[in-house]
Amino acid sequence: MKLFVVAGARPNFMKVAPFLHAIARHNQRCVAGNGALEPLLVHTGQHYDIMMSEVFFRELNIPTPDVNLEVGSGTHARQTAAVMVRFEEVCHRDRPHWVIVVGDVNSTMACTLVAAKLGISVAHVEAGLRSFDRTMPEEINRLVTDALADLLLTPSADADENLAREGVPREKIHRVGNIMIDCLVANLARARARRAPVRLGVEPGRYAYVTLHRPSNVDCRESLEAILENLVRLSRDLPVIFPVHPRTHKALEAFGLDHVGAPGLHKIAPVGYQDSLCLTENARLVLTDSGGLQEESTYFRTPCLTLRPNTERPVTVTEGSNRLTSLEALAGDIQAVLNGPERLGRVPDLWDGRTAERIVQVLLKNGTP
Q: Which is nearer to ligand UD1, 44 or 235 (CB)?
A: 44
Which one of residues 3, 67, 106, 217 is an interface residue with ligand UD1 (CB under 6 A)?
Answer: 106
Judged by CB under 6 A, does residue 10 bind ligand UD1?
Answer: yes
* Full strand arrangement of the beta sheet holding 265-268: 265-268, 240-243, 208-211, 285-288, 304-307, 322-325
Which one of residues 5, 6, 9, 212 is an interface residue with ligand UD1 (CB under 6 A)?
Answer: 9
Q: Which is nearer to ligand UD1, 10 or 130 (CB)?
A: 10
* Least distance to ligand UD1, CB of residue 90, Å: 19
Residue 321 gets which letter from DSSP?
Answer: S
- Binders of ligand UD1 among residues 33 to 92 (CB under 6 A) are 46-49, 52, 73
* Least distance to ligand UD1, CB of residue 134, Å: 13
* Least distance to ligand UD1, CB of residue 252, Å: 12
* Least distance to ligand UD1, CB of residue 32, Å: 41
Judged by CB under 6 A, does residue 213 bind ligand UD1?
Answer: yes
Q: Where are the alpha helices (DSSP H) in the chain?
A: 10-29, 54-59, 76-93, 106-117, 137-148, 157-165, 179-193, 196-199, 215-218, 221-235, 246-254, 273-282, 291-300, 315-318, 330-339, 355-366
Judged by CB under 6 A, does residue 250 bind ligand UD1?
Answer: yes
**Cβ-based neighbours of 288, under 8 Å, separated by 6 or more:** 209, 210, 211, 212, 294, 297, 304, 305, 306, 307
Which range, of 30-38, 178-186, 241-249, 357-365, touches ligand UD1 by CB under 6 A?
241-249
The alpha carbon torsion through 119, 120, 125, 127 (nearest 10 deg) reads 0
Q: Is 255 helix (H, G, I), strand (E, B) or coil?
A: coil
Q: x/- contact string, 173-192, with ligand UD1 (CB under 6 A)?
A: --------------------
Q: Is 166 left (phi over 0), alpha (psi -120 to 50) or beta?
A: alpha
- Binders of ligand UD1 among residues 294 to 333 (CB under 6 A) are none
* Least distance to ligand UD1, CB of residue 138, Å: 5
Q: Rounded to an integer, what distance in angstroms lies between the CA atom of residue 280 and that of residue 265?
A: 17
Q: Rounded to an integer, what distance in angstroms lies between the CA atom of residue 340 and that of residue 317?
A: 16
Q: Which is nearer to ligand UD1, 8 or 353 (CB)?
A: 8
Which one of residues 20, 22, 105, 234 is an interface residue with ligand UD1 (CB under 6 A)?
Answer: 105
* Least distance to ligand UD1, CB of residue 47, Å: 4
Q: Which is nearer to ligand UD1, 15 or 245 (CB)?
A: 245
For 115, 208, 269, 286, 328, the CA distances from 280, given in Å and listed in that order, are: 36, 9, 16, 7, 24
Q: Which residue in 213, 249, 259, 266 is the catalytic one? A: 213
Residue 213 among the catalytic residues: yes
Q: Rounded to an integer, what distance in angstroms lies between the CA atom of residue 247 and that of residue 215?
A: 8
Kindly list the residues in this chain that would bind ligand UD1 in the complex (CB under 6 A).
9-11, 46-49, 52, 73, 105-106, 137-138, 213, 245-247, 250
Annotated catalytic residues are 213
